[in-house]
Protein backbone atom coordinates (compact mmCIF):
# COMPACT_ATOMS: atom_id res chain seq x y z
CA UNK A 1 0.00 0.00 0.00
CA UNK A 2 1.34 3.41 -0.93
CA UNK A 3 1.24 6.30 1.52
CA UNK A 4 0.52 9.97 0.98
CA UNK A 5 3.47 12.33 0.99
CA UNK A 6 3.43 14.78 3.87
CA UNK A 7 6.40 17.10 3.61
CA UNK A 8 7.78 19.10 6.52
CA UNK A 9 8.35 22.81 5.94
CA UNK A 10 12.02 22.39 4.98
CA UNK A 11 11.82 19.01 3.21
CA UNK A 12 11.31 18.64 -0.52
CA UNK A 13 12.24 15.02 -1.22
CA UNK A 14 11.34 11.73 0.40
CA UNK A 15 12.38 8.13 -0.23
CA UNK A 16 10.59 6.63 -3.19
CA UNK A 17 7.78 4.18 -2.62
CA UNK A 18 8.64 0.53 -2.89
CA UNK A 19 11.96 0.73 -1.00
CA UNK A 20 15.33 1.56 -2.48
CA UNK A 21 17.48 4.58 -1.90
CA UNK A 22 16.43 6.86 -4.75
CA UNK A 23 14.69 10.13 -3.90
CA UNK A 24 11.08 10.87 -4.74
CA UNK A 25 11.52 14.08 -6.69
CA UNK A 26 8.59 15.94 -8.20
CA UNK A 27 8.78 18.01 -11.39
CA UNK A 28 10.13 21.56 -11.26
CA UNK A 29 6.71 23.27 -11.30
CA UNK A 30 5.60 21.11 -8.35
CA UNK A 31 8.75 21.98 -6.42
CA UNK A 32 8.28 25.69 -7.25
CA UNK A 33 4.67 25.41 -6.07
CA UNK A 34 5.84 23.97 -2.75
CA UNK A 35 8.33 26.83 -2.40
CA UNK A 36 5.45 29.29 -2.93
CA UNK A 37 3.37 27.53 -0.29
CA UNK A 38 6.24 27.64 2.20
CA UNK A 39 6.58 31.40 1.61
CA UNK A 40 2.84 31.88 2.10
CA UNK A 41 2.95 29.91 5.34
CA UNK A 42 5.81 32.08 6.61
CA UNK A 43 3.83 35.18 5.64
CA UNK A 44 0.66 33.99 7.39
CA UNK A 45 2.65 32.99 10.47
CA UNK A 46 4.30 36.42 10.67
CA UNK A 47 0.95 38.14 9.99
CA UNK A 48 -0.62 36.20 12.87
CA UNK A 49 2.25 37.03 15.24
CA UNK A 50 2.10 40.75 14.41
CA UNK A 51 -1.66 41.24 14.21
CA UNK A 52 -2.79 38.61 16.69
CA UNK A 53 -5.02 36.86 14.16
CA UNK A 54 -5.09 35.34 10.70
CA UNK A 55 -6.69 37.07 7.70
CA UNK A 56 -10.48 36.66 7.88
CA UNK A 57 -11.21 36.33 4.16
CA UNK A 58 -12.14 33.10 2.40
CA UNK A 59 -10.70 31.58 -0.73
CA UNK A 60 -8.14 33.72 -2.53
CA UNK A 61 -8.92 36.67 -0.23
CA UNK A 62 -7.55 34.64 2.72
CA UNK A 63 -3.97 34.80 1.47
CA UNK A 64 -4.26 37.82 -0.86
CA UNK A 65 -4.56 39.98 2.27
CA UNK A 66 -0.82 39.51 2.73
CA UNK A 67 -0.41 41.98 -0.16
CA UNK A 68 -3.64 43.99 -0.09
CA UNK A 69 -3.11 44.93 3.57
CA UNK A 70 0.44 46.08 2.90
CA UNK A 71 1.88 43.36 5.13
CA UNK A 72 3.91 42.09 2.16
CA UNK A 73 5.41 44.54 -0.29
CA UNK A 74 3.30 44.69 -3.43
CA UNK A 75 5.83 43.64 -6.04
CA UNK A 76 6.05 41.09 -8.84
CA UNK A 77 7.92 38.49 -6.80
CA UNK A 78 5.36 38.44 -3.99
CA UNK A 79 2.40 38.54 -6.40
CA UNK A 80 3.72 35.53 -8.30
CA UNK A 81 4.14 33.64 -5.02
CA UNK A 82 0.37 33.84 -4.55
CA UNK A 83 -0.47 31.82 -7.65
CA UNK A 84 0.51 28.29 -8.61
CA UNK A 85 3.26 28.08 -11.28
CA UNK A 86 1.61 24.97 -12.74
CA UNK A 87 -1.13 27.08 -14.34
CA UNK A 88 -0.45 29.52 -17.17
CA UNK A 89 -1.57 33.06 -16.36
CA UNK A 90 -3.55 33.14 -19.62
CA UNK A 91 -6.04 30.76 -17.96
CA UNK A 92 -6.69 33.22 -15.13
CA UNK A 93 -8.11 36.72 -14.93
CA UNK A 94 -4.56 38.06 -14.62
CA UNK A 95 -3.48 37.96 -18.26
CA UNK A 96 -2.18 41.28 -19.53
CA UNK A 97 -2.21 42.88 -16.07
CA UNK A 98 0.84 44.02 -14.13
CA UNK A 99 1.50 41.72 -11.15
CA UNK A 100 1.31 44.72 -8.82
CA UNK A 101 -2.41 45.02 -9.68
CA UNK A 102 -3.35 41.39 -8.99
CA UNK A 103 -3.90 41.62 -5.24
CA UNK A 104 -3.83 45.34 -4.43
CA UNK A 105 -7.62 45.62 -4.00
CA UNK A 106 -9.12 42.82 -1.92
CA UNK A 107 -12.62 43.69 -3.17
CA UNK A 108 -11.56 42.82 -6.73
CA UNK A 109 -9.97 39.49 -5.80
CA UNK A 110 -11.84 36.31 -6.72
CA UNK A 111 -11.22 32.71 -7.79
CA UNK A 112 -9.74 33.84 -11.11
CA UNK A 113 -7.09 35.90 -9.31
CA UNK A 114 -5.01 32.86 -8.39
CA UNK A 115 -4.62 29.17 -9.18
CA UNK A 116 -4.52 28.44 -5.44
CA UNK A 117 -7.67 27.85 -3.42
CA UNK A 118 -7.69 29.31 0.08
CA UNK A 119 -9.44 28.06 3.18
CA UNK A 120 -13.18 28.67 3.40
CA UNK A 121 -13.13 30.69 6.60
CA UNK A 122 -16.88 31.33 6.44
CA UNK A 123 -17.78 27.67 6.83
CA UNK A 124 -14.50 26.34 8.29
CA UNK A 125 -12.98 29.16 10.38
CA UNK A 126 -9.38 28.71 11.45
CA UNK A 127 -8.33 30.49 14.62
CA UNK A 128 -4.56 30.01 14.52
CA UNK A 129 -1.70 28.24 12.85
CA UNK A 130 0.38 25.36 14.21
CA UNK A 131 -2.68 23.32 15.07
CA UNK A 132 -3.05 19.70 13.99
CA UNK A 133 -3.83 18.78 10.40
CA UNK A 134 -5.83 21.78 9.17
CA UNK A 135 -5.56 22.63 5.47
CA UNK A 136 -4.83 26.28 4.57
CA UNK A 137 -4.29 26.43 0.80
CA UNK A 138 -4.24 24.01 -2.12
CA UNK A 139 -3.70 23.87 -5.84
CA UNK A 140 -7.21 24.65 -7.11
CA UNK A 141 -7.37 22.31 -10.17
CA UNK A 142 -10.05 24.67 -11.48
CA UNK A 143 -8.87 24.66 -15.10
CA UNK A 144 -7.82 21.02 -15.05
CA UNK A 145 -5.04 19.66 -12.82
CA UNK A 146 -2.50 22.32 -11.79
CA UNK A 147 0.22 19.66 -11.96
CA UNK A 148 0.35 16.25 -13.56
CA UNK A 149 -0.84 13.72 -10.96
CA UNK A 150 -0.17 15.90 -7.86
CA UNK A 151 -2.20 18.40 -5.81
CA UNK A 152 -0.21 20.25 -3.15
CA UNK A 153 -1.90 21.23 0.11
CA UNK A 154 -0.40 23.59 2.68
CA UNK A 155 -1.22 22.48 6.21
CA UNK A 156 -1.54 24.57 9.38
CA UNK A 157 1.69 23.15 10.84
CA UNK A 158 3.66 24.33 7.80
CA UNK A 159 3.92 20.90 6.21
CA UNK A 160 2.91 20.28 2.60
CA UNK A 161 0.72 17.33 1.74
CA UNK A 162 1.32 16.19 -1.84
CA UNK A 163 -1.76 14.25 -2.87
CA UNK A 164 -0.92 11.94 -5.76
CA UNK A 165 -3.90 10.99 -7.90
CA UNK A 166 -2.74 7.39 -8.43
CA UNK A 167 -2.19 6.91 -4.70
CA UNK A 168 -5.61 8.31 -3.79
CA UNK A 169 -7.18 5.87 -6.28
CA UNK A 170 -5.15 2.96 -4.85
CA UNK A 171 -6.18 3.89 -1.31
CA UNK A 172 -9.83 3.95 -2.38
CA UNK A 173 -10.23 7.63 -1.51
CA UNK A 174 -11.41 8.48 -5.03
CA UNK A 175 -12.93 6.10 -7.60
CA UNK A 176 -11.14 4.40 -10.47
CA UNK A 177 -11.11 6.57 -13.58
CA UNK A 178 -10.78 9.84 -11.67
CA UNK A 179 -8.65 12.24 -13.76
CA UNK A 180 -8.19 15.07 -11.26
CA UNK A 181 -8.78 15.75 -7.59
CA UNK A 182 -11.75 18.04 -7.02
CA UNK A 183 -11.05 20.98 -4.71
CA UNK A 184 -13.80 22.59 -2.63
CA UNK A 185 -16.89 21.40 -0.74
CA UNK A 186 -17.66 18.70 -3.34
CA UNK A 187 -14.26 17.04 -2.92
CA UNK A 188 -14.08 13.46 -1.67
CA UNK A 189 -10.95 14.33 0.34
CA UNK A 190 -11.35 16.04 3.71
CA UNK A 191 -8.27 18.22 3.22
CA UNK A 192 -9.74 19.69 0.04
CA UNK A 193 -13.34 20.10 1.25
CA UNK A 194 -12.41 23.09 3.43
CA UNK A 195 -11.14 25.08 0.45
CA UNK A 196 -13.07 27.82 -1.35
CA UNK A 197 -12.65 28.42 -5.08
CA UNK A 198 -13.92 32.02 -4.75
pLDDT tens-digit series, residues 68-82: 999 999 999 999 999
User: Any alpha helices (H) in the chain, and if so which ranges?
Assistant: 28-51, 60-68, 76-81, 165-170, 190-193
Residue 22 pLDDT greater than 90, yes or no: no
pLDDT tens profile 108-129: 999 999 999 999 999 999 988 9
Asked, for residue 21, whether it belongs to a domain, the answer is: no
**Model pLDDT, residue 56:** 94
Task: Convert the pLDDT of each residue in 124-162 to its tens digit.
Answer: 999 889 877 899 999 999 999 999 999 999 999 999 999
What's the pTM value of the predicted model, to 2 decimals? 0.86
pLDDT higher than threshold 70 for residue 16: no
**25 vs 143: CA distance, rounded Å:** 24
Residue 17 lies in a domain: no
The mean of the pLDDT values for the chain is 88
DSSP reduced 3-state for 154:
strand
Q: What is the pLDDT of residue 26?
A: 57
Closest CA to 60 of 159, 137, 144: 137
Q: Does a structural domain hold residue 53?
A: yes
Q: Is 19 a residue whose pLDDT tops 50? A: no
The set of residues, in sequence order, having a beta carbon less than 8 Å from that of 90 and lying 6+ positions away, is none
- For residue 19, being part of any structural domain is answered with no
Within-domain flag for 66: yes
Decide which of 57 and 12 is more confident.
57
Dump pLDDT digits (tens) for 82-109: 999 999 999 999 989 999 999 999 999 9
Does the pLDDT of residue 10 top 50, yes or no?
no
43: domain range?
5-12+26-196
In a domain, 78, yes or no: yes
pLDDT digits (tens, 9 = 90+) for 25-72: 556 899 999 999 999 999 999 999 999 999 999 999 999 999 999 999
How many structural domains compose the chain?
Answer: 1
In this predicted structure, the answer to whether residue 166 has a pLDDT above a threshold of 80 is yes
Predicted local distance difference test score (pLDDT) of residue 44:
97
Q: Looking at the domain assignment, is residue 134 inside a domain?
A: yes
Which residues are within 8 A (CB) of 162 and not within 5 positions of it... i.e. 6 or more apart?
A: 4, 5, 6, 7, 26, 30, 34, 150, 151, 152, 153
Amino acid sequence: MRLRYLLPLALSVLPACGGGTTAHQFSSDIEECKANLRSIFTGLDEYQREKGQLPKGSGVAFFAELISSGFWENNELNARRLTCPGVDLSQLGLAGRAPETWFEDLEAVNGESSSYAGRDNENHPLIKLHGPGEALLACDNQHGPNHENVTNVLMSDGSILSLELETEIELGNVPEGTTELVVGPDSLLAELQVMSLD
